[in-house]
Structure 1
Amino acid sequence: MKLVLFIVKSSWQKLLIGAIGSAIAGLCYAYAVKLLNTLIGSSSESSALFIEMSGIIVLSTSLSIITGYYLTQLFEEKISDLRVDLSRKILQADFETVERNAFKIIPVLHYDVNNIGSFAKTIPDVLVAVFKIAAIWTYMFLLSWQLTLSIITVFLLVFLFAFVLLPTFHRIEKDIQRERNVLYRHLLGLVNGIKELTLNRVHQKNYVEDTINPTSYKHARHISIINSLNILVTKSAELIVIVGIGIIIIVLKSSASFSSEVFLDFLTLVLFILPSLIIITSFARSLKKVDASLEQVFSLGLEFDDYRHAIGNAKLPYHSHSEAPLISLQEVTYHYGTPDSNTYKVGPFNLSIYENELLFINGGNGSGKTTLAKLLTGLYMPESGQINYQEQKINETNLFEYRNLFAATFTDSHVFQDLRYLSTRVNESEMQKKSALLGIEDKIEVDQFNISAVDLSFGQRGRLTLLRVLLEDQPIYLFDEWAANQDPYFRSKFYHEILPDLKSKGKTIIVISHDDQYYHLADRLITLSSGNITTISG
């Protein structure tokens, strides 16, 4: 019901039109069944009756198709809106929140939203089925209200049995979704860690047997339980209907008013409504599955709402010829986790970066280089202390503008192939020129700023990422160990050609690097150790 309420809130007029269409289709179907019943009992010429019945059933079928298409389109649009809205929330959310929930985002956007979409497609059929049953039951009531109430009682027992099991369905569906998210994280680890796992047979075996297998087994077991419950409901419904009708026959046969002809008419009508009852029963069973999916979607959205930055449109004016540092960090600290827990801490950082400076940062693994880079770019907000841009305090009202000053590559940067967002500021000839500089002009195909990558190596994918960043043409550049995966030729080109070219254009450049043979090119070199700046030279 949550899904229906979700649709009704924004599109109740369209839903009403669809419901009216479904009602007319159901009434036409019931009237066609009545005509068929009359046709069976008619002893005279009945071609006119057959033509009328055929016309009505064609009308019912046509209305069902049109209404189904209309409602399916309505629900699919709303599901698409839900997916897009959640995507916007992800991009507006606090970066740390997104990092923390990364393992849930893809399963929710893909599996849960698809579950909702698949469920929504059944709603038009359910609406038509409801009106069919209502109309046929009305006709049955006119034939014999006693028999009709008896048949309705039997079907109510079927629905009651299914209803009693709904909480169990809901609980197991939530377990399945939780295990699916964990399983997705494990499988992602298998793909991302394939090199390490391939090299270590013990780790290989442990990861499959002790990490993937238990979760996969629990996930499969719960799916088996759900399927078994579905079979139980279906077969129990058949049992209840057959036994119930048998009891009705035994009871009514002892009555003087029992008519076998009327009862046969009823059985014929019951056969006509059985497919509709199956549709409604399946719909009821699916309710808890889609409710669990909606809880996943909405909880993720609400979680992002809880942590979402109130990002305003406050501008960060640029003051040319200013002697103040372009960026300054004053007693900036950052904790992974909560400050009162035993977690890794970096800082306090006190650092000034000046306009058009080429700054190198080095340090061992875990020294805090990437964390410092995320603080400098505004991806992380300090736990304490202050970040300033030309002596203007960075806060949630101007954070968007501050982030937009940077073009950056990180060690795990995604390779984007749709670069149409650059089409207003860059022409394709400039893209081709930069592609040639990076040695990938013959490795990619460009069509209206959509790049088709053709058999790129890891280093070439890094150069494709660098191509995008260079074309963004932002005032501040940050490169987090970009050259680490490049061959000596392109590593040298990066330090001796690309960085000097950016500096000649007035850019401010921050480079995280272990390439000590190029440190002499920097204006200053900063060394980090154990989350703190230990030396600043130059």
Structure 2
Amino acid sequence: MNLLRQLANNQLKALSLVVLLSIASALLTLGVIAFIQHKLLNTNNLTSTVMWQFLLLLVALLTIATWAQVALHKLGHQFVYLKRCQLIKQLINTDIEQVDNIGSARLLASLSTDIRNVTVGFVHLPQLIYGIVLSIAAMTYLAFLSFPLFAISLIILSLTGLIGFGLVGKITFHIRQVREYDDRLYKDYQAIIDGRKELALNPSKAKRYFEEEFDPNAQHYRNQITQADTYNGFAANMANTLILALVGMNYFAALGLHWASLEVASAFALVILFMRAPLMTAIASLPTLVTANISIKKLESLSLNKNAEFISQQTKHHPFKTLSLKQVTYQYKAHSADKPFQVGPIDFSVQQGEILFIVGGNGSGKSTFARLLTGLYRPHSGEIILNSETVKAEQWPIYRLQFSAVFSDYYLFHQIADSYGNNIDDDIIDEWLTYLEMIHKVSHQNGHLSDTRYSQGQRKRLALLMAVMEQRGCILLDEWAADQDPRFRKFFYRKLLPRLKERGVTLIAITHDDKYFDTADRVFKMDMGKLNELNISEPQQNHSIFSHIIS
């Protein structure tokens, strides 16, 4: 079972202690039954000393049983906490390309549903361990009382286990299907939330999406979980019926076939009936444990980066002097018979402190080039040369530290931090908030913005603030000025970019603002995955260049 295997691999000593406590609890339980049979049912020995002994035995049972369950709960929840932290660190260290291939809906399903399933599995794990340990200890005690009656009990319980094993296989199949439909439902949730404006404007479209996409997945989920619960309910009722049948068969064998005395048959009945509740609880916990096992496999199937530690930036990282791309290519995976889109081969170079503009039509490869340049995508061929040294595979996380960026699909965090994750001096933040005309809109305290719910243009200004505060050598801006009003757009090109350049910051902007091409040191055009430098030596050529791009 993957759940126990992973727990044993990570905390073997703690798990061994829990198992020993469970064994002690089961033995004490049988000790209580044996004490009742041999002491309390003997009217000649009913003294106050016997009752004190019985009370001490009950206190010991309560202490050990509670200790075992609490220890396993703590162990399980600690494992889930460490697993959740490990997954987040692995996700952060995983290449963007792999994260995109997995999909946000599947990731959210794993980080929420699968982690929750594992947590619930650990909550029910003590019941399973206690039921198994108690059953083994009880069967050993029954074998000591009467081997013929033990043989009958073993046959009936083995038959129960065999049928139950087949039912568990069916339960596992249906729960695995449930988990697959979980992924689809999360995808539907994301589509409905992200497309809420479009659906609100078109109720008929919303109805069609509900009927064609969401409702079939929800129905399949309902059908599969119903089948799993049906098999589990049958397994529990079958086990209950066979255990009661076992009591009757033992009495028949003891009294009708004279295999044992009434006293032994009564002891058998007492032990078996006492086993009934833990066994039923253990069987009832099987679906949650099967679900947790499937969720563990789902988490492993994400193929995230194995490194569960943050990248440490131990020394000060200096801005690059030169950066070059030599015959770099990147090709998307084909999802149909069409030829997959390829960016490159690209030959590109930039010097520290330059302002470069990248222009091109929609779908020309600009955003892919931006991700290649910043190291978020790894080239399929060619090489990236940083300060005359080729960037090797193991150096990609360090290479990315050269860049800050505001992508078109950026996320605005509340934290304001430098390149090392430390807080920035308040005066510096206030200076840039004033410069970005946001000082009267937003406040900050202890390195956190007071709010991020602003217009798209204002949010982009705050995103640029974050990028500047990181104090990296190069800032990449993807269509940053597109959401700014004309006045601030002019300010951005005529004042803001030159100010950053004066500080030695390299600026690479993806833009369509041909009016401001003269701000750039060089302009590159991306067309059908090919990157070419344009001649902007004459300011009057800007309009013709942009017209050529559009055409």
Q: 2 CA distance for matches of 1:121 and 1:445?
A: 44
Cα displacement (A) at 1:275: 1.9
Partner of 2:29: 29
Tell me if structure 2 keeps the 8 A contact 1:314–1:401: no
Give a deviation string over 1:238-289, Cα, whole Å, max 9, x none.
Answer: 2322334334444444224554454334323223222211233234444432
User: Judging changes above 3 Å, is the alpha-carbon distance between structure 1 residues 498 and 271 closer, same or farther for their aligned structure 2 residues?
Assistant: farther
What is the letter of the counterpart of residue 462 of structure 1?
Answer: K
Tell me if structure 2 keeps the 8 A contact 1:35–1:49: no
Partner of 2:89: 88
Q: 2 CA distance for matches of 1:316 and 1:333?
A: 31
1:3 and 2:3 equivalent? yes
Q: 1 CA distance for matches of 2:361 and 2:98?
A: 27
1:333 and 2:329 equivalent? yes
Partner of 2:368: 371
Partner of 1:47: 48
1:67 and 2:64 equivalent? no
Q: 1:119 aligns with which of 118, 121, 133?
A: 121
Q: 1 CA distance for matches of 2:48 and 2:94?
A: 68
**Which segment is superposed worse, 214-223 or 285-294?**
285-294
What is the letter of the counterpart of residue 410 of structure 2?
Answer: S
Q: 1 CA distance for matches of 2:462 and 2:431?
A: 13
Alignment of 1:154-165 (within 5 A): 154-165=156-167
Cα displacement (A) at 1:405: 0.3
Partner of 1:288: 290
Partner of 1:453: 451
User: Judging changes above 3 Å, is the alpha-carbon distance between structure 1 residues 442 and 228 closer, same or farther for their aligned structure 2 residues?
Assistant: farther
Alignment of 1:145-160 (within 5 A): 145-160=147-162
Give a deviation string over 1:103-129, Cα, whole Å, max 9, x none.
Answer: 322222222232222212333343333
Q: 2 CA distance for matches of 1:148 and 1:211?
A: 56
Tell me if structure 2 keeps the 8 A contact 1:349–1:532: yes
Cα displacement (A) at 1:100: 0.5
User: Judging changes above 3 Å, is the alpha-carbon distance between structure 1 residues 219 and 444 closer, same or farther for their aligned structure 2 residues?
Assistant: farther
Give a deviation string over 1:78-124, Cα, whole Å, max 9, x none.
Answer: 33333333333333333211211133222222222322222123333
User: Judging changes above 3 Å, is the alpha-carbon distance between structure 1 residues 151 and 444 closer, same or farther for their aligned structure 2 residues?
Assistant: farther
User: Judging changes above 3 Å, is the alpha-carbon distance between structure 1 residues 140 and 382 closer, same or farther for their aligned structure 2 residues?
Assistant: closer
1:108 and 2:106 equivalent? no
User: Judging changes above 3 Å, is the alpha-carbon distance between structure 1 residues 453 and 372 closer, same or farther for their aligned structure 2 residues?
Assistant: same
Partner of 1:167: 169
Partner of 1:513: 511
Secondary structure at 2:11's aligned position in 1? helix
Q: 2 CA distance for matches of 1:358 and 1:316?
A: 24
Cα displacement (A) at 1:474: 0.4
User: Judging changes above 3 Å, is the alpha-carbon distance between structure 1 residues 206 and 531 closer, same or farther for their aligned structure 2 residues?
Assistant: farther
The alignment's TM-score, normalised by the length of structure 1, stands at 0.88
Secondary structure at 2:393's aligned position in 1? coil
Q: 2 CA distance for matches of 1:207 and 1:84?
A: 36
Q: 2 CA distance for matches of 1:244 and 1:266?
A: 10
What is the letter of the counterpart of residue 191 of structure 1?
Answer: I
Give a deviation string over 1:34-82, Cα, whole Å, max 9, x none.
Answer: 2233455232544332222222222222222223222322233333333
Partner of 1:355: 352
Partner of 1:177: 179
Cα displacement (A) at 1:478: 0.3
Partner of 1:533: 531
Q: 1 CA distance for matches of 2:54 and 2:438?
A: 69
Q: 1 CA distance for matches of 2:412 and 2:313?
A: 29
What is the letter of the counterpart of residue 120 of structure 1?
Answer: F
Tell me if structure 1 keeps the 8 A contact 2:360–2:527: yes
User: Judging changes above 3 Å, is the alpha-carbon distance between structure 1 residues 175 and 523 closer, same or farther for their aligned structure 2 residues?
Assistant: same
Cα displacement (A) at 1:395: 3.0
Unaligned runs of 5+ in 1: none
Tell me if structure 2 keeps the 8 A contact 1:72–1:121: yes
CA RMSD across the alignment: 3.2
User: Judging changes above 3 Å, is the alpha-carbon distance between structure 1 residues 362 and 141 closer, same or farther for their aligned structure 2 residues?
Assistant: same
Tell me if structure 2 keeps the 8 A contact 1:408–1:478: yes
Tell me if structure 1 keeps the 8 A contact 2:319–2:474: no
Unaligned runs of 5+ in 2: 537-551
1:279 and 2:281 equivalent? yes
Tell me if structure 2 keeps the 8 A contact 1:356–1:506: yes
Tell me if structure 1 keeps the 8 A contact 2:359–2:366: yes
Q: 2 CA distance for matches of 1:60 and 1:442?
A: 66
Q: 2 CA distance for matches of 1:392 and 1:258?
A: 87
Partner of 2:463: 465
Tell me if structure 2 keeps the 8 A contact 1:26–1:131: yes
Q: 1 CA distance for matches of 2:313 and 2:439?
A: 38
User: Judging changes above 3 Å, is the alpha-carbon distance between structure 1 residues 355 and 277 closer, same or farther for their aligned structure 2 residues?
Assistant: same
Partner of 1:384: 381
Tell me if structure 2 keeps the 8 A contact 1:443–1:455: no
Partner of 1:264: 266
Give a deviation string over 1:403-425, Cα, whole Å, max 9, x none.
Answer: 11000011111222244675536
1:198 and 2:200 equivalent? yes
Secondary structure at 2:392's aligned position in 1? coil
User: Judging changes above 3 Å, is the alpha-carbon distance between structure 1 residues 319 and 244 closer, same or farther for their aligned structure 2 residues?
Assistant: closer
Q: 2 CA distance for matches of 1:214 and 1:285?
A: 24
User: Judging changes above 3 Å, is the alpha-carbon distance between structure 1 residues 140 and 223 closer, same or farther for their aligned structure 2 residues?
Assistant: same
Q: 1:484 aligns with which of 466, 478, 482?
A: 482
1:417 and 2:414 equivalent? yes
User: Judging changes above 3 Å, is the alpha-carbon distance between structure 1 residues 425 and 19 closer, same or farther for their aligned structure 2 residues?
Assistant: same
What is the letter of the counterpart of residue 323 of structure 2?
Answer: I
Secondary structure at 1:356's aligned position in 2? coil
Tell me if structure 2 keeps the 8 A contact 1:316–1:398: no
Q: 2 CA distance for matches of 1:175 and 1:160?
A: 24
Give a deviation string over 1:411-453, Cα, whole Å, max 9, x none.
Answer: 1112222446755362233234334444555655644324452
**Which segment is superposed worse, 54-63 or 424-433?**
424-433
Q: 2 CA distance for matches of 1:514 and 1:444?
A: 29
Partner of 1:240: 242
Cα displacement (A) at 1:175: 1.8
Cα displacement (A) at 1:226: 1.0
Secondary structure at 1:337's aligned position in 2? coil
The alignment's TM-score, normalised by the length of structure 2, stands at 0.86
Secondary structure at 1:300's aligned position in 2? coil
Q: 2 CA distance for matches of 1:495 and 1:58?
A: 79
Give the fraction of aligned pairs with identical amino acids, expressed as a percent. 26
